[in-house]
Structure formats: C-alpha cells, structure tokens
C-alpha cells in the first residue's frame, strides 16, 4: 500500500462487493477503478479480489489489508489535521476557547497580562458554551479550552488541569418579585426564566423534575437549556437587569452590582452549587511555544480564590 487512496479502494470494494457501487462511493468511473485495482495488485504481487460477472470477493491478501486499513486511514487523517493546524498557527496565532465564567475569572485577565509582557503575541480568544469549547479542541479549531474540567472526563482524547472554582449563588434585579423574600424555594426559582449559558445535563439530576419556565432539557444531548440561553456573562447580567429573569454566578462576579444595590442574591444554596474551571487540551496535540508562554503567564497570575 502506497497511498490512502489505495486503502480506500480496497475498503470500498470489500464493503460493496461490486465495482459500480464502489466507484460511486469513491467518486471515480468504474473503468478507472478497475485499472487502479489492477495496478495495485501488480505492485504488491498478489490478487486482492476474486472477480465474477456480478461481484468481487476479498482474498486472504485483501483481508490482511482490511484488518489494518481503518486505523491507517484514520491515522493519516489525524496527521493531516495536525499538520494543517500547525500551518495555520503562524497565520492566526494562538486560539483559545473559553467558557463564560472562565473568561470572567481568569481567561481575559491572563491574556491582558500576557500581551503586556509579550508584544509580539498573536492570539484569539472566543467565548463559548462548555460543549462548544470541547468540540473546538476535539476538532482542532482551538489549541486549548478554559472551561469546566469535569466535562472533559468522558473524552479519552482530552487531558485537563483544574485551575480553580467555588460556590455560585442565584441573583436577580432588586425589583424582582423574589428580591425581598427571606426564604426562596426551588419551586419559586422555577417560576422565572433563567438567563445562563448552556448547562451540563448533570444539573438535571439535582433540579426539580418540573423545570417550570426556567428552561428545558435538550432531548438530543441531555443538556439543560436555560430559557434565556446566552454565551457571555455580560449577556446574563443584561438579561437580569430590570427584568424577571434570574441567573447564577460566583458572587465576586457581581460584587459591584451588589454594592450598588442593583442586584440581590437569593437565599437558596445547596452544596452541589459549585463551579470549576481549568485547562483542557488534546493529549496528542503538542502545544505551540506561544501557548506554552500564555499558560505560564496564566498560572502566575491565577488567584486561588478567583471565585
């Protein structure tokens, strides 16, 4: 086998057992496929398929190829993606996907500190929900994600390093119907739309079965989709301000609004109401020198009590 194309020819013929259907899958004419197979068999010195008027049957030689071809094709694709990612790195600089809370806690501050010290740094930070952060890294659109590290545990391709975390609290506008309540129940908060980013399905395991108007369960992913689903913390606070929506965040994030009396936190707290964030990356993706320097700066500037 000299090329991935030849591996795909063997796989397509073995799958369809028919030249016409295999040629359609490969996007080539049937005569071209026949000639390509003949050249391949001549090159390896063995017959790969027994031909009849209506079908082709893999020989023992073809079976040897078939046992290995999927892994070889996947490996070549992965190699091509890695090389393409590296080629584009110089053009686009470092790309990091950041969850909304991680962006507030550490990401943007870390980038500011880094660019202050390294003027030639080229980087792009995109704020994403937790699921898109992981997809960006898995599909090599980003070198790194700064998001909930627990979400990466189900992907063996990913590695994670926790940076920080802490409790979160529900909050609302000071004129909200729940703002002056001494006690608030889960039934109370479910009566109002939640303004948050996309939330992992594990929240549904602890929330009331009746979600009210707070949000819904996405049947295709199992995620909790808030009624007002946004991608940034600024959008969360904008939805809460002067409205009936409620949200949740580390209290430090809304410290100024709390001091000015614009927002109030609700007296509802559970031990599981915690947020964690950290670094997530592909195990097989070497870090660029620019990313290494950025992460070093990030760790130096990281405050343990960020939340």
Q: How many helices (H) and strands (E) does the chain have?
A: 11, 14
The CATH number, out of the four listed (3.40.190.10, 2.40.110.10, 1.10.10.10, 2.40.420.20), of the domain defined by the range 4-88: 1.10.10.10
Q: Are 238 and 257 in contact (CB under 8 A)?
A: no
> Quick check: 91 pLDDT over 60?
no
Q: Are 124 and 255 in contact (CB under 8 A)?
A: no
Alpha helix positions (H), 143-246: 186-189, 233-240
For 14-57, what is each residue's pLDDT tens digit? Answer: 999 999 999 999 988 999 999 999 999 998 899 999 998 888 99
Most confident range (mean pLDDT) of 71-80, 128-137, 288-297 is 128-137
How far, rounded to the nearest angstrom, does the alpha carbon of residue 122 sit from its chain's CA centroid? 22
> Quick check: 139 pLDDT over 80?
yes
CATH 1.10.10.10 location in the chain:
4-88
For 214-239, what is each residue's pLDDT tens digit? Answer: 999 999 899 999 999 998 888 999 99
C-alpha triplet 102, 254, 259: angle, nearest 5°: 155
| Nearest of 117, 142, 128, 137 to residue 298 by alpha carbon | 117
Alpha helix positions (H), 164-231: 186-189
Q: Does domain 93-163+277-301 have CATH number 3.40.50.300?
A: no
Mark residue 30 as left, alpha or beta (left: phi above 0; alpha: psi -120 to 50; beta: remaining).
alpha
The CATH number, out of the four listed (1.10.3470, 1.10.10, 3.40.1350, 3.40.190), of the domain defined by the range 169-272: 3.40.190
Which band of pLDDT confidence, cut at 50, 70 and 90, is reported for residue 177? Answer: very high
Mean of pLDDT values over 102-108: 69
> Quick check: 100 pLDDT over 50?
yes
**Percentage of residues of the chain with pLDDT beyond 90:** 51
CATH 3.40.190.10 location in the chain:
93-163+277-301
Calpha distance 306→293 (Å, rounded)? 21
Write down the pLDDT at residue 113.
52
């Amino acid at each position: 086998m000299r090329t991935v194309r030849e591996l795909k020819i063997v796989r397509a013929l073995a799958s369809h057992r028919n030249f016409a259907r295999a040629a359609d899958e490969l996007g080539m004419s049937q005569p071209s496929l026949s000639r390509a197979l003949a050249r391949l068999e001549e090159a390896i010195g063995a017959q790969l398929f027994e031909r009849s008027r209506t079908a082709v049957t893999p020989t023992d030689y073809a079976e040897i190829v078939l046992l290995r071809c999927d892994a070889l094709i996947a490996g070549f694709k992965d190699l091509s993606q890695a090389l393409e990612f590296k080629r584009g790195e110089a053009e686009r600089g470092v790309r990091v996907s950041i969850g909304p809370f991680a962006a507030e806690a550490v990401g943007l501050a870390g980038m500011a500190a880094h660019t202050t010290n390294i003027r030639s740094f080229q980087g792009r930070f995109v704020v994403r929900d937790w699921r898109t952060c992981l997809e960006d890294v898995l599909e090599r659109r980003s070198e790194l994600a700064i998001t909930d590290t627990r979400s990466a545990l189900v992907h063996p391709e990913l590695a994670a390093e926790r940076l920080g975390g802490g409790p979160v609290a529900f909050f609302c506008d000071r004129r909200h119907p729940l703002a002056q309540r001494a006690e608030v129940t889960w039934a109370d908060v479910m009566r109002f739309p939640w303004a948050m980013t996309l939330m992992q399905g594990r929240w549904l395991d602890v929330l009331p079965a009746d979600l009210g108007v707070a949000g819904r369960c996405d049947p295709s992913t199992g995620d909790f989709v808030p009624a007002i689903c946004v991608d940034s913390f600024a959008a969360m606070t904008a939805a809460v301000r002067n409205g009936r929506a409620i949200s949740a965040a580390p209290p430090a994030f809304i410290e100024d609004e709390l001091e000015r009396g614009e927002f109030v936190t609700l007296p509802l707290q559970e031990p599981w109401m915690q947020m964690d964030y950290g670094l997530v990356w592909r195990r097989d993706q070497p870090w660029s020198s620019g990313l290494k320097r950025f992460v070093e700066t990030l760790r130096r500037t990281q405050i343990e009590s960020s939340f």
